[in-house]
Amino acid sequence: MTEVAITPMQRIKPKISKDDVVMRLSMAAIALYLIVAIALPLYALLSKSFQNNHGDFVGFANYITYLTTPALSWSIGNSFKVTLLATVIVLFIAFIYAYALTRSCMPGKSLFKGIALIPILMPSLLPAISLVFFFGQQGIIKSWLLGAELYGPVGIVMGEVFYVFPHVMTILLIGMSLSDARLYEASEVLGASKIKTFFSVTLPSLRYGLVSAFFVAFTLVITDFGVPKVVGGQYNVLATDVYKQVVGRNDFQMGAVVSMALLLPAVFAFVADRLVQRKQVALLSARAVPYQPKPDRIFDMIMLAFCSLIAFIILSILGMAIFSSLVTFWPYNLTLTTKHYNFDLMDGGGWASYFNSIQLATWTAIFGTIVVFFGAYLVEKSRGFKSGRTAMQALCMVPMAVPGLVLGLSYVFFFNHPDNPLGFLYHTMPILVICTITHFYTVSHLSAVTALKQMDPEFEAVSQSLKAPFYKTFWRVTVPVCVPAILDISMYLFVNAMTTVSAVVFLYSTDTSLASVAVLNMDDAGDQSPAAAMGMMIVSTAAIVRLAHMILTRGLKRRTQAWRNR
């Protein structure tokens, strides 16, 4: 008999198997990627803001200059003003829209839902260009502004409301479809009027969704660069300031300082939103019964009218973008032409920039999905190494709080540093891919985690007992089961890589110019119609990809329904 002398409290040190080694190395690789892609660049940005242009440490000198120069610090107040205004307006509109979609019996709901999502397919520059054609110096309905100037706060607020509408509407829609029907029934039984029910049941049950939507809208607007770039005029906001300091004045230190000013509210909004969402999860744990609206002619008609109006506005902004890309010479010659699509005759990189964008989006979708999904798997399903996993989970959340411009600029500082061995990446396609993946990392990571959490936690244990290495079970079980989520993630990454401007505007080179940047540059040069044409190329590509994704997902669901449906 194997009798070993036993010291009673001797701690057992688990033996590390080959599988464990592979697992830990993979985790280290992903962690290293995240450190290089997000932590170190942000550190480079932060330290840059404390240096003068010779690279000496100067403490808070740059910050003091920034705050004491009214021409600079002015944009802080501007940013907050337009952001708050746009956020409140979009919350109001999106709330009613989502309310109509969930609580009324109006016809055409799925059509309205689809139309509401159109802005997602556009780079934010494009609706702003449409606004110029509507309300600019030569806009067709300029008079509707009652003498107000489009360029400035008015244009920014209008553009931003359009740009963030689908995001806010989706959050509220989810919040409303989750709320419990039993509360409404109870309220009805108690004889409460529709209005009273609204204030005593609907609003309170939606407070988390509203707060979350508020913070998301706030972050999106304050960090957006496309809209104020086109219709901001002389009205400086933080995002355009970063761009102006860096591209216009080559003042990288001040660019870093303004970036920090932009980063702070974004981080604050992000943290606040996380705290609120944590509470909401606890709230939802009880099983809710979905609400079934009952027909009410007058109410349904009002809702239909409202949604039609909003849908009409969205469609006309899209329509105006299409029209302006086809019109010969606004407003003097309105005959239609396709000459603006001859990008090769224009500055901005020509058709090459469109194909670069396709390339960027493809690589981002492929590599991004691989890194994000495998990373999420390791965070969620690997064993041991708990502190490492927690740290990695935290690192995965950081990109969400970092505005694209700030991320792009921090890449400039980090990768362009003479001592960085990764410097060879600077001005190449790979750096654009890395930056774009990082920019959209968090949302993709969270959808991967959600899908993984729905899988039986014992799959990994069973696979260990059957002596299968973890990567085999990952490949043979986890990936096939999660294919719908994987497709969602790659589609999300593709569309966003097509439309993003802010993350890449500091990083492209003449060889890697991009479609979205071309929109920016052509607009800057006064070529609004070609800019709109390039914007339309982005929109139609994104739309086609979305459609392909939908067809693919549907086909897949049909083919695998034998084992998917329980």
Partner 1 sequence: MSAEQGEPYIKIVNVTKNFGEFTALRDISLEIFDKEFVCFLGPSGCGKTTLLRAIAGLDIQSSGQIFQKGRDISALPPAERDFGIVFQSYALFPNMTVRRNVAYGLENQGVPGKQIEQQVTELLQLVGLPEQEDKFPAQLSGGQQQRVALARALATKPGLLLLDEPLSALDAKVRTHLRHEIKELQHKIGITTIMVTHDQEEALTMADRIVVMNQGVIEQVGTPSEIYSEPASPFVADFIGTTNFIKGKLATRQSVQIGNIAIQVDNPSASLVTGSEVLLCIRPEDILTGERAIDVANQVESVIDRVEFLGSFHRVHMLPLAGDGTELMIDVSVARAREIDLTIGSSLKVALPAMHMNVYPSDN
Binding residues (CB under 8 A) for partner 1: these are 1-2, 4, 6, 8-17, 19-20, 456, 458-459, 461-468, 472, 476-477, 480-481, 560, 562-566
The nearer residue to partner 1, 204 or 384, going by C-beta atoms, is: 384
The nearer residue to partner 1, 22 or 247, going by C-beta atoms, is: 22
DSSP secondary structure letter of residue 57: B
CB of residue 71 to partner 1, shortest distance in Å: 55
- The two structure tokens encoding residue 318: 């899209």
The nearer residue to partner 1, 19 or 251, going by C-beta atoms, is: 19
The nearer residue to partner 1, 335 or 561, going by C-beta atoms, is: 561
The nearer residue to partner 1, 144 or 475, going by C-beta atoms, is: 475
Considering only CA atoms, which of 230, 229, 325 is closest in space to residue 530?
325
Instruction: Collapse the DSSP code of 51 into the 3-class scheme (helix H, G, I; strand E, B; otherwise coil) and give the result.
Output: strand
CB of residue 480 to partner 1, shortest distance in Å: 4
The nearer residue to partner 1, 299 or 459, going by C-beta atoms, is: 459
Please identify which residue in the block is written with the tokens 């396609």. Answer: 429
Query: What's the burial of 546, exposed, middle or buried (CB within 10 Å: 0-12/13-18/19+)?
Result: middle
CB of residue 557 to partner 1, shortest distance in Å: 13
The nearer residue to partner 1, 1 or 141, going by C-beta atoms, is: 1
Question: Maximum Cα–Cα distance for the chain, whole Å?
Answer: 101
The nearer residue to partner 1, 176 or 481, going by C-beta atoms, is: 481
| Region at 349 (left for phi over 0; alpha for psi -120 to 50; beta for the rest) | left
| DSSP letter for each residue of 509-546 | -GGG--HHHHHHHHHHTT-HHHHHHHHHHHHHHHHHHH
The nearer residue to partner 1, 27 or 76, going by C-beta atoms, is: 27
Count of residues in the chain: 566
CB of residue 13 to partner 1, shortest distance in Å: 6
CB of residue 510 to partner 1, shortest distance in Å: 47
Cα 36 to Cα 32: distance, rounded to the nearest angstrom: 6
First to last CA, the chain: 50
Cα 463 to Cα 282: distance, rounded to the nearest angstrom: 32
CB of residue 23 to partner 1, shortest distance in Å: 11
Count other C-beta atoms under 10 Å from residue 454's C-beta: 10
Count other C-beta atoms under 10 Å from residue 435's C-beta: 27
- The two structure tokens encoding residue 55: 């690279």
CB of residue 565 to partner 1, shortest distance in Å: 6
Q: Are 253 and 59 in contact (CB under 8 A)?
A: no
Q: Are 233 and 151 in contact (CB under 8 A)?
A: yes
The nearer residue to partner 1, 55 or 480, going by C-beta atoms, is: 480
CB of residue 475 to partner 1, shortest distance in Å: 11
Q: How many CA atoms lie within 13 A of 289 on its CB side?
A: 8
Cα 244 to Cα 213: distance, rounded to the nearest angstrom: 30
CB of residue 367 to partner 1, shortest distance in Å: 25
CB of residue 342 to partner 1, shortest distance in Å: 49
